Structure 1
């Protein structure tokens, strides 16, 4: 899975008050759009998604936002003397995500199998890590519900489930000593990279594509940020020097991605650092272990977005409300988009390539996701009116 998405606590799917900060919902909605486009490979629109302009992509962005959402949603309850209700609430959310993950995974398998069986599109069962299922069905059918086997484009929810299961263990420290927690998280990230620690895959060899031992760092930074937001403060204060440093770093990364001379020079420097003995997770672009360039890029991006007042104004504008709507209902929108992306991959495989087909599969899928979010918003408003 190249890009991904994570789910949102149910408490954040309620209709928004006018004064609410819409940045989280808008950015989450934008990430959903990006994810869907990237998960239907080969369209012309893929060239314009975020991964073409920086080291990180929507996966890192969504894990940060998932941590922020968890901090906002759960921190108040974890401050109460009785901890079990808070723990049960988080683990209940993890169970919901597990059920969604298993359901959409088997829906995707059914779409791929149907495309092969009824339309002769046998390429659909050879991609996205589906081939092992048809070669070795008994073991893979054990691996799928136990999360050891994850098909392509469906491996972000297992990461988020794992992180939520661990959240009650880290919340007390996040509330009392966030920077100590972040320091420990950095150490775990470094250990995972240095010794290539990962959760095992099954039945295939290797580990998870999104390694929870590495990705926990992004989530924990987001969690501590969300807790600070809930308290009406910032985890990292706005400092002009830091804003400029992040902005210049993002411009440098953009030049790296778009100017061959800058990119080749940067890769030469990283290659020299590797020759001097620096490990891959500091000098590479590995996604499984969230290498340092990817990590720095997503953190710089989110700090800048949070520090520039114009971002808040843009996100509150009317033109951004469709994205905010999708972001408020991120879990069902993501689930539908995940299933649709497999269906649209079948259309791309079975039909001659054309600009019209690209427009149809992308616009049609995004419209369906927006319509689902709009329906859920209307239903929630209708239930509230009936309750009054």
Structure 2
């Protein structure tokens, strides 16, 4: 029996969350340095979804684990709702400030490239044109999050989802299937009626539409809430595993078997002509169309059922990825700035081929250095303990994770 003076034992972290979050951050950075050969190795070449979907679903898992316990009925009865809500809204505020910081640096980096390297075309890219052609309206849109620059447009959706997450978790800990059904209905409605947040002063809406992307975030939340209780939100099933694995192979054939993908796409277009909502029969990213959604969910389920994935995520080989994942927001910010610098450098250089080969590697090394320094300078507690088996991952008290 534990004495009152003893601190409770630290629960093991699930290494998959940190490792795959780190991998997603590396992938996002690589994909944001266009033309490099390493892009061919990223997830978007093997299916319909990409690192963005992985980022959102893992962010939801981490949020469910980190904050779900505060919304348990006994905790709410004792402490009330505000101690549960305030950490999430504080995190959303941090994301908002980070978004403004990255936006200002994006403007500065591209303006510096245009001025010092005589590449004025840079001011016409990543949605910068409005800033100079319609300055007053754009300076309203930037702090309102309605005007977003290319490569700096994923955090606003995450910020909005964290603001809404307390309500989602409060429902999810009591009625998880109700939350899932409501989330699916909202996703479907977003596609049918083109629901999105305004993109002022531009027409249209957000590239990462939170009204649609909330669905994979909610799936992640429900997964994290269940894991915290030592359960799985979607139980292991040989039949479901085979179905998901088969779908992943089907998508590979869709992408790469000559004529097969063209035939399927034409059939989807035909269904669209018959009135089937476009988010069912397209590959649209903004509204998280069904093929993208089903692909990331199938991939997540298959990976979650494979013990070898857990062992690999906790291995020494995956330690750099886990390091990146533990410092998620800082690494994401560093990667964003590095990708912007890389784009400007390639536009200004006559040796773009050399840069395409070297800049991604240099950028990943810098991201690792930044994460290592942050962990070293900020270490006030013992290094995390990682689980090595599914049983020790969930244990009796759930998993430890950071939402960020």
Give the TM interval when normalised to the shorter protein.
over 0.9
Contact 1:53 1:258 in 2 (8 A): no
Deviation per CA, 1:172-225: give whole Å up to 9, x if none: 111001111100111111111101011111111111111111111111111010
Select 1:48's aligned residue among 38, 41, 44: 41
Who is 1:74 aligned against? 67
Q: Write out aligned runs for 1:222-301 (5 A).
A: 222-301=220-299
Corresponding residue number in structure 1 for 2:147: 149
Which residue is 2:30 aligned to?
37
What are the residue-to-residue correspondences of 1:354-365 with 2, within 5 Å? 354-365=352-363
Report if aligned partners of 1:143, 1:202 keep a CA contact under 8 Å in 2. yes
Structure-1-length-normalised TM-score: 0.92
Paired residues in the alignment total 368
Once the two structures are TM-superposed, the CA of residue 48 in structure 1 deviates from its matched residue by 2.0
Q: CA separation in 2, counterparts of 1:318 and 1:293?
A: 35
Separation of aligned partners in 1, 2:170 and 2:13:
27
Deviation at residue 43 of structure 1 after TM alignment? 1.4
Q: Which residue of 1 aligns with 2:317?
A: 319
Note the 1:307-346 alignment, pairs <5 A. Answer: 307-346=305-344
- d(CA) in 2 for partners of 1:354 and 1:111? 18
Shift of 1:18: 9.5
- Confirm or deny: 8 A CA contact 1:44 1:355 kept in the other structure: no
> In the alignment, is the contact (CA less than 8 A) between 1:29 and 1:323 conserved in 2?
yes
Kindly indicate whether residue 105 of structure 2 is the aligned counterpart of residue 112 of structure 1. no
Partners of 2:304 and 2:355 in 1: CA distance: 37
2:35 and 2:172 map into 1 onto residues whose CA distance is 42
Q: Look up the SS of the partner of 1:260 in the other structure.
A: coil
Contact 1:72 1:230 in 2 (8 A): yes
Partner secondary structure for residue 97 of structure 1: helix
Distance apart, 1:47 and its partner CA: 2.0
How much does 1:261 deviate? 2.4
Equivalent position of 2:56 in the other structure:
63
Q: Secondary structure at the match of 2:173?
A: helix
Matched, 1:369 2:367: yes
Q: Normalising to structure 2: TM-score of the pair?
A: 0.89
Q: State the partner residue of 1:92.
A: 90
Alignment-derived partner of residue 8 in structure 1: none
Residue 4 of structure 1: aligned partner: none
Q: CA deviation at 1:241?
A: 0.4
